Structure 1
């Protein structure tokens, strides 16, 4: 089994009235190549006639955003012409690539009626060869994401990308990024093989788990060494897990605000291109 290098607690980082815990980066971990950033919004309950999510139009270049809607909804719009409203259980995958402007806000129905909200947004890096790829976006509702039942139904694995237990994920990204959300009932067990050379991304969203003999709980990111291929997971309570793995790119990472590139010059160019309107014009 892989050994655990360290556990990192998400830090409280509210955005306006939105409850937010940042799991990556924190003072104890900068990134887990190629996984760059994770914000955990909520859980919280919005009252009727609320303002909704605060993520108005803003640019990105050089990476991908994967947004998991556990409760509530997100209304997406971008300068590539994509629009959608994704509801609870659904996922958005946006490839910023060469650059676009997007907004992620709550739907008019959610702002009118309110309700529970819990959302995760993960940033996944793009290698140098894909950083200037054409932007793309796909939103999938819960029913469109393949689900695999394991351990006599006590484990529900939602295959987001890559392949899990012989099932292809709902997204087939540019790079070999494997992502899944996993719901486990108390007492459930799950054994998964992961290549030893891959980075493991293991974030406990809810509940308590034991992984490879060590306990972890909600809002903790578990970092592993590169010394084994087996993950053995036991649910100590009902739990929800975000699990990913990928081959590290091992390239320079230069991040500044909404851009992630390989050099400082590329970051300066990103700002110049954005200011020149090359990311599109917001309508």
Structure 2
């Protein structure tokens, strides 16, 4: 079993009226290569006639975003011509690649009617060879995503990417990665084999879990040592976790604003290309 290196508590960084916690990066942890950034928005309840999510048109290059919609919805639009509204339980996966502009806002229905909202967005680095790949976007609703149960149905796995036994994730990644959302009833248990040499991303979204005998409450990120080939988890309360793992790229990382590249010169080029309209045009 892998041992725990450190537990990182998410810090509070509200965005307008949106409750936001951020466990990665932190003063003690720059990345869990290739997992580089996580924002946890909510849980909160929006009133009727609200303004919804504040993420209007903005650019990205050199990375991917995976968005977990636990409550509420997201209306996505980008300069590549992709549009969708993904509801609670759904997932969005966007590859920024060489560059695009996108907006992530609430639907007209949500802004009119209000309701609960809890959304997490994870940024994945891209290897240098794929930094300038063609942008792409996929959004899937809850029922379209691979799911299965463990431990007499006390553990429910939403398999986003990679493989778990005979189950195959619903999103085709450009490079090998495992990513899942796991919903656990109190007392539920699971173990997961993770190859030596791969880094583990483990974030407790809701509830409380026990890992290696240590109880971890929600809004905490576990940093593991690379000293074993499996982990074991038990829910001491009803819980939700995001679990991922992948081989590190071990490449230079330069992140500035919405761009994630390998050198400062590439960051400057990204800003210049954006200013010169090379990320596509935006139409409301």
**Do the two structures share a fold, i.e. TM-score over 0.5?**
yes
Q: Which residue of 1 aligns with 2:61?
A: 61
Q: For the aligned residues, what is the CA RMSD?
A: 0.6
For the Cα contact (< 8 Å) 1:80–1:100, is it kept in 2?
yes
State the SS of the aligned residue for 1:8.
Answer: strand
Aligned 1:108-119 pairs, distance under 5 A: 108-119=108-119
State the SS of the aligned residue for 1:148.
Answer: strand
Q: Which residue of 2 aligns with 1:260?
A: 260
Q: What are the ranges of 5 or more consecutive residues in structure 2 without an aligned counterpart?
A: none
Shift of 1:166: 2.1
Q: Which residue of 1 aligns with 2:125?
A: 125
| 1:193 and 2:198 are equivalent in the alignment | no
Q: What are the ranges of 5 or more consecutive residues in structure 1 without an aligned counterpart?
A: none
Q: Which residue of 1 aligns with 2:233?
A: 233
Q: Which residue of 2 aligns with 1:28?
A: 28
State the SS of the aligned residue for 1:5.
Answer: strand
Q: Which residue of 2 aligns with 1:139?
A: 139
State the SS of the aligned residue for 2:129.
Answer: helix
Shift of 1:28: 1.9
Q: How many residues align?
A: 283
Per-residue CA distance 1:17-72 (angstroms, 9 max, x = gap): 00000011112211100000000000000000000000000000000000000000
Q: Within 2, Cα distance between the matches of 1:100 and 1:121?
A: 17
TM-score calculated relative to the size of structure 2: 0.99
TM-score calculated relative to the size of structure 1: 0.99
| 1:276 and 2:267 are equivalent in the alignment | no
Per-residue CA distance 1:211-257 (angstroms, 9 max, x = gap): 12221110000000111011110110110010000000000000110
For the Cα contact (< 8 Å) 1:148–1:165, is it kept in 2?
no
Aligned 1:213-224 pairs, distance under 5 A: 213-224=213-224
State the SS of the aligned residue for 2:226.
Answer: coil
Segments of 4+ in structure 1 off by > 3 A? none
Q: Which residue of 1 aligns with 2:106?
A: 106
State the SS of the aligned residue for 2:89.
Answer: coil
State the SS of the aligned residue for 2:272.
Answer: helix
Q: Within 2, Cα distance between the matches of 1:215 and 1:134?
A: 42
State the SS of the aligned residue for 1:272.
Answer: helix
